[in-house]
């Protein structure tokens, strides 16, 4: 127990820490609260337990860079444990006999965990400091062609050093103090590490041990009291902002479900997000939750192929701007700089393929994809600034209902093979399944191959289906992903009107982009349908015995997961089930597969524009992964992926064949 004077000093120190902590935390939360919209709090119990799971298990951290992440988890678990340790130590300052959980079995296990994790945390933090400052890990660097605020590099190093030394000294001295206490009182089998070191101090005078224990205790407590007010300015605020982010996450089970814009709101002065003042509350939380670990840029197809985009740099720039200029967001919103002035370049903005890899890998639930799409909306709707090549796609979608801008019959693909039966809804009003052909299926030669193959499967299975024909129009996926929300809304409203008029209940499509839009985004416009991808539907037909196949060996078969089928809609098994049904040989997996799949490079409206400058094409980098496993045939389930990977194979003379899974199945119908 401390002396009376020490207790008074401690009380003053706690009060000062509480005062300055209130100042720093309240400023942070005022900045966050200034964001647009409201936080999502539906199903609070489910959200709470998910956030608690993330905090306790560190499962979102451990899903990538496992060894480094495990070391990080040791520190995080120690941080959580030390909340109880510090609380207990403060109580012991006034009652030296106090023991958290007492002398019970839980109390002994608690003491053991504190002892072990104290050592793990000190060793782990030493490794992290060496990794950053001595070995200078490439994973912690951001390429020079990426825009970063001038203060970021030095700021991250300074912050890492401050927090690293804090953890080393706070945990280290607290644990060292326990060893002095044990040297005086005797070893404790439930504190093996501290007891081992206590042997070094045996023989010291009791008064000396008591002085050393007091010194370590005060240093440990003093450090935590000094650090708490600094916490909101540190990148290590992610320890509590990460779980908060997961709790308020708008779409707990998915992402990139953009909110529509109310274009009839006469009071609306801004469409999209030009500055931080236009961002939603959750997007501002992202900035404070960011670990600055660069996991997102490590999986970003744009960054890894040398483009100027880094999702990590975007969030880091937001955070450092708020640290330095947060007051301007509260008091002078009109004069805030635009994102393109401090957070990212124009080329970086248009390099994003909207693949969702950054969202998938982020350990704290950040969604930089939302930022990029919000900024694109501003550039298109408010500034009319976008890559010139997109103009043709916009005009085509608006005037001709397709981004190819082709004024042709949407049923022309059916006339190549007269044996195919492709009724329209007018010819077969009692259809059960609507086949949504999509623009690629109607106008692109490779897409037409897919449409004919899938129709052949439907015919053999005697599926009662129909198509909209010329009443079908582009879903608007590319328009929305490119930021042209107004055009998307027009297309969506028109399609929903036609679908509802045809009394559509169930839709199957051969395009994952159409799947995502019809299934997840059209409900915003009154379109409620059951929507399946053709891989799912074919898998069902095979399971039901409605499709008879000639099974054989397909050497070197691999599958490329389309981003909008996989990450965006969580379907990984159906396409593999189809391919494994037609081949004795199991599908060989590429380095990046399933939720870790690498984009083909066509998403996010990239299909309609030139790829942004970089070191190599995204499509070629993906094809290299197929070459690495000696693939002979790459199967995919998206017309865009088919185009991009075929082009990559032809450009590099790789000799790898690329086919949609519907084509592979159609070729093997018995």
Percentage of the residues of the chain whose pLDDT score is greater than 90: 90
Instruction: Give which of 91, 224, 93 is closest to 169, Cα–Cα.
Output: 224
Instruction: Give which of 607, 361, 567 is closest to 477, Cα–Cα.
Output: 607
> Is pLDDT above 60 for 256?
no
For 352, half-sphere exposure in the C-beta direction (CA atoms, 13 angstrom radius) is 32
Please enumerate in sequence order all residues whose Cβ is within 8 A of that of 405, keeping only pairs 6 or more positions apart, or say none. 392, 393, 395, 396, 399
Q: Using one digit for the tens of pLDDT, what is the confidence trace for 581-636?
A: 999 888 999 999 999 999 999 999 999 999 999 999 999 999 999 999 999 999 99
580 or 41, which is more confident?
Answer: 580
308: which DSSP letter?
S
235 or 78, which is more confident?
Answer: 78
What pLDDT does 542 receive?
97
What pLDDT does 195 receive?
95
* Domains by residue range for the chain, with CATH: 4-28+44-233 (no CATH), 276-382 (1.10.1060.10), 391-667 (no CATH)
> Is pLDDT above 80 for 255?
no
Could you tell me where the DSSP H helices lie in 461-572?
477-481, 485-501, 512-516, 534-543
Q: Using one digit for the tens of pLDDT, what is the confidence trace for 83-131?
A: 999 999 999 899 888 888 888 899 999 999 999 999 999 999 999 999 9
What pLDDT does 610 receive?
97
120 within 8 A of 34, measured Cβ to Cβ: no
Please enumerate in sequence order all residues whose Cβ is within 8 A of that of 8, keeping only pairs 6 or more positions apart, or say none. none
Label residue 257 by pLDDT band (50, 70, 90).
confident
Q: Using one digit for the tens of pLDDT, what is the confidence trace for 474-518?
A: 999 999 999 999 999 999 999 999 999 999 999 999 999 999 999
Label residue 203 by pLDDT band (50, 70, 90).
confident
What pLDDT does 236 receive?
86
- Mean pLDDT over all residues of the chain? 95
> Is pLDDT above 70 for 254?
no
What pLDDT does 507 receive?
99
Two tokens at 479?
A: 């328009």
Residues in the chain: 670
What pLDDT does 235 receive?
85
Average pLDDT over residues 357-381: 96
306 within 8 A of 616, measured Cβ to Cβ: yes
What pLDDT does 331 receive?
93
> Is pLDDT above 70 for 253?
no
Q: How far apart are the first and last CA of the chain?
A: 85
Average pLDDT over residues 442-471: 98
What pLDDT does 252 receive?
59
Helix, strand, coil in percent for the chain, rounding step 5: 60, 5, 35
Average pLDDT over residues 417-422: 94
Average pLDDT over residues 24-34: 96
> Is pLDDT above 80 for 239?
yes
Q: Which of 259-263, 293-297, 602-606, 661-665 has the lowest mean pLDDT?
A: 259-263
Q: Using one digit for the tens of pLDDT, what is the confidence trace for 381-409?
A: 999 999 999 999 999 999 999 999 999 89
What pLDDT does 529 receive?
98
Average pLDDT over residues 20-26: 96
What pLDDT does 2 receive?
84
For 564, half-sphere exposure in the C-beta direction (CA atoms, 13 angstrom radius) is 33
Label residue 12 by pLDDT band (50, 70, 90).
very high
What pLDDT does 117 receive?
97
Complete edge-to-edge strand list for the sheet that includes strand 657-660: 557-559, 633-636, 657-660
Q: Which residue has the tokens 């408010």?
A: 382
What pLDDT does 100 receive?
86
Q: Which stretch of DSSP H or E encloses residue 636?
A: strand 633-636
Q: Using CB atoms within 10 A of its CB, is residue 278 exposed (0-12), middle (13-18) or buried (19+)? A: buried
What pLDDT does 102 receive?
84
Percentage of the residues of the chain whose pLDDT score is greater than 70: 99
């Amino acid at each position: 127990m401390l002396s009376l004077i020490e207790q008074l000093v401690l009380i003053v120190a706690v009060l000062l820490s509480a005062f300055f902590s209130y100042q720093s935390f309240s400023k942070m939360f005022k900045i966050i609260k200034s964001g647009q919209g409201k936080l999502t709090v539906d199903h609070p119990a489910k959200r709470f337990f998910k956030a608690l799971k993330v905090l306790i298990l560190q499962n979102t951290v451990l899903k990538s860079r496992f060894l480094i992440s495990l070391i990080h988890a040791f520190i995080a678990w120690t941080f959580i444990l030390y909340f109880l340790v510090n609380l207990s130590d403060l109580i012991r300052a006034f009652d030296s006999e106090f023991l958290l959980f007492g002398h019970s079995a839980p109390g002994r296990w608690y003491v053991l965990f504190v002892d072990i994790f104290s050592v793990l945390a000190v060793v782990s933090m030493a490794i992290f400091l060496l990794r950053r400052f001595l070995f200078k890990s490439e994973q912690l660097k951001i390429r020079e062609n990426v825009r970063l605020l001038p203060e970021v590099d030095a700021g991250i190093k300074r912050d890492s050093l401050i927090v690293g030394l804090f953890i080393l000294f706070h945990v280290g001295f607290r644990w060292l103090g326990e060893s002095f206490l044990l040297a005086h009182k005797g070893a404790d089998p439930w504190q093996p590490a501290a007891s081992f070191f206590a042997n070094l101090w045996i023989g010291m005078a009791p008064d000396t041990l008591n002085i050393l224990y007091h010194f370590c205790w005060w240093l440990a407590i003093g450090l935590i009291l000094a650090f708490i007010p600094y916490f909101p300015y540190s990148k290590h605020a992610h320890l509590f902002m990460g779980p908060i982010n997961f709790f308020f996450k708008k779409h707990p089970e998915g992402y990139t479900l953009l909110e529509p814009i109310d274009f009839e709101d006469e009071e609306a002065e801004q469409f999209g997000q030009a500055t931080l003042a236009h961002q939603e509350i959750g997007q501002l939380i992202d900035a404070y939750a960011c670990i600055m670990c660069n996991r997102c840029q490590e999986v970003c197809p744009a960054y890894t192929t040398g483009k100027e985009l880094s999702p990590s740099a975007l969030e880091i720039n937001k955070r450092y701007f708020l640290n330095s200029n947060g007051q301007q967001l509260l008091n002078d919103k009109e004069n805030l700089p635009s994102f393109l002035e401090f957070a990212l370049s124009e080329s970086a903005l248009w390099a994003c393929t909207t693949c969702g890899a950054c969202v998938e890998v982020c350990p704290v639930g950040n969604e930089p994809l939302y930022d990029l799409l919000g900024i694109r909306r501003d550039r298109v709707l408010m500034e009319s600034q976008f890559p010139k090549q997109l103009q043709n796609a916009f005009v085509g979608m608006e005037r001709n209902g397709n981004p190819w801008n082709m004024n042709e019959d949407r049923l022309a693909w059916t006339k190549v093979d007269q044996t195919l039966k492709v009724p329209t809804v007018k010819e077969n009003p009692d259809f059960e399944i609507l086949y949504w052909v999509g623009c690629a299926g109607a106008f692109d030669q490779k897409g037409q191959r897919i449409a004919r193959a899938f129709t052949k499967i439907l015919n053999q299975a005697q599926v009662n289906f129909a198509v909209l024909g010329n009443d079908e129009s582009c879903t608007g996926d590319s328009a929305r992903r490119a930021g042209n929300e107004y055009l998307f809304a027009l297309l969506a409203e028109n399609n929903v009107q036609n679908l509802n008029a045809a009394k559509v209940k169930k839709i199957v499509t051969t395009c994952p982009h159409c799947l995502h839009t019809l299934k997840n985004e059209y409900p915003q416009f009154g379109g409620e349908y059951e929507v399946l991808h053709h891989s799912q539907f074919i898998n069902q037909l095979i399971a039901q015995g409605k499709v008879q196949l000639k099974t054989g060996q397909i050497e070197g078969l691999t599958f490329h997961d389309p981003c909008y089928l996989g990450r965006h809609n969580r379907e990984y098994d159906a396409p593999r089930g189809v391919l494994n049904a037609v081949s004795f040989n199991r599908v060989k997996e590429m380095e990046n597969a399933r939720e870790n799949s690498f984009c083909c490079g066509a998403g996010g409206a990239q299909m309609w524009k030139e790829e942004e400058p970089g070191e190599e094409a995204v499509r070629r980098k993906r094809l290299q992964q197929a070459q690495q496993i000696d693939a002979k045939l790459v199967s995919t389930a998206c017309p865009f992926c088919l185009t991009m990977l075929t082009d990559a194979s032809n450009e590099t003379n790789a000799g790898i064949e690329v086919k949609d899974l519907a084509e592979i199945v159609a070729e093997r119908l018995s």
